């Protein structure tokens, strides 16, 4: 089977592509290799992928409609996994138009290509950020998500709405994946766990926002990849018994899943785990909560477990240990 992975040089895209290739799939990877974070890391991920048989890479952005159309026409992928996006909650406050171009214009280009060159299944990255100001815990895919607190979150909610429209109008089966704080080797340098590790190793202080009084459902990369892999052949079907209370499915071939560890951890506990793995205590500077942040994330994954008979299982101690080992090997 031929699978197109957008954002293949990114954190999740790299790990997923490697898994797909190990399972014998043909993978076409695209990425624009932008400079949002260290391009060297993206190129090193790509270098590993290019050494594996059945991987083809093309440098392009999903916001480039003509290139995307040409790609679909020439390769005719059967499955599309859209992971390309402008990431980052705080950066969306500084550079809003980067999110419009990639997350909105880019995603509609992918949807149009799937419409004009039909695919069996489109899976796409959403985010736990869509839950915004929700107070109900844990977050369920049947919860209303109409109160985002960052433009990034708003674009991800928009992606889900856009996907539903195309599922309804053109019968494109779409699956939205709400990822919860993904971490692990070859991760994103803009993420807190990465900068915490870097600064602790280098003997620099770390900024702890909201005085550490936040909780996150940290999810290890291998569990994210396993979940996506198992969902590939779980093609959504139109739900004839759909009701408005069940908004994660639809009268269209559309479905939404949370992919999280289902175990929130306090920020201070998270930092302690990094300190333990490094063997060094951090110098902490406690600060106020930042714009766009939320107090707590916690994934209800009952629907995911029911569908794929799997739930994330990597402990925080194990996951952070693996990351720190990789970090020291890569940077030191």
Catalytically active residues are: 152
In Å, how far are 12, 79, 107, 161, 235 from 72, measured between CA atoms?
Answer: 22, 11, 14, 23, 20
User: Would you state the structure tokens that stand for residue 214, as one six-digit string?
Assistant: 């936040």
In Å, how far are 7, 66, 206, 216, 232 from 285, measured between CA atoms?
Answer: 34, 48, 6, 19, 43
Residues in the chain: 332
User: Would you state the structure tokens that stand for residue 62, as one six-digit string?
Assistant: 């999903």
Q: Please, which residues have CB within 8 angstroms of residue 269's CB and are 6 or more apart in sequence? A: 316
Strands 121-127 and 174-179: parallel
Task: Round to whole Å and give the CA distance between 64 and 83.
Answer: 15
Task: Round to whole Å and give the CA distance between 76 and 297.
Answer: 38
Torsion of CA 143, 85, 103, 295, to 10 degrees: 40
Burial 72-81 (b: 16+ CB within 10 A, else e): beeeebbbbb
Specify whether the CB–CB gap between 219 and 72 falls below 8 A. no
> Tokens 């970090």 map to which residue?
327
């Amino acid at each position: 089977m031929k699978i197109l992975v957008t954002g293949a040089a990114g954190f999740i895209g790299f790990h997923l592509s490697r898994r797909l290739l190990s399972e014998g799939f043909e993978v076409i990877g695209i990425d624009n290799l932008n400079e949002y974070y260290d391009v060297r890391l993206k190129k090193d991920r790509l270098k590993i992928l290019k050494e594996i048989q059945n991987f083809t890479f093309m440098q392009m952005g999903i916001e480039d409609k003509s290139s995307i159309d040409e790609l679909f026409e020439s390769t005719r992928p059967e499955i599309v996994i859209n992971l390309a996006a402008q990431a980052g909650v705080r950066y969306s406050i500084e550079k809003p138009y980067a999110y419009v171009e990639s997350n909105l214009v880019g995603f509609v280009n992918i949807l149009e290509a799937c419409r004009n060159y039909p695919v069996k299944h489109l899976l796409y990255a959403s985010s736990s950020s869509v839950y915004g100001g929700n107070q109900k815990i844990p977050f369920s895919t049947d919860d209303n998500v109409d109160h985002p607190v960052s433009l990034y979150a708003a674009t991800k909610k928009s992606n889900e709405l856009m996907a539903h429209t195309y599922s309804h109008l053109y019968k494109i089966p779409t699956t939205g994946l709400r990822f919860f704080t993904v971490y692990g080797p070859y991760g994103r340098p803009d993420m807190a766990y990465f900068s915490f590790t870097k600064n602790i190793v280098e003997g620099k202080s770390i900024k702890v926002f909201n005085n550490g009084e936040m909780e996150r459902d940290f999810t290890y990369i291998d569990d994210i990849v396993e979940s996506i892999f198992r969902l590939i052949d779980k093609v959504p079907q139109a739900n004839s018994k759909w009701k408005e209370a069940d908004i994660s499915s639809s009268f269209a071939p559309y479905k939404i899943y949370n992919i999280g560890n289902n175990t929130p951890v306090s920020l201070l506990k998270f930092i302690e785990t990094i300190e333990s793995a490094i063997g060094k205590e951090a110098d902490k500077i406690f600060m106020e909560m930042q714009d766009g942040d939320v107090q707590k994330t916690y994934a209800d994954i009952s629907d995911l477990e029911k569908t794929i008979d799997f739930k994330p299982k990597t402990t925080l101690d194990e996951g952070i240990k693996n990351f720190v080992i990789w970090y020291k090997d890569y940077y030191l």
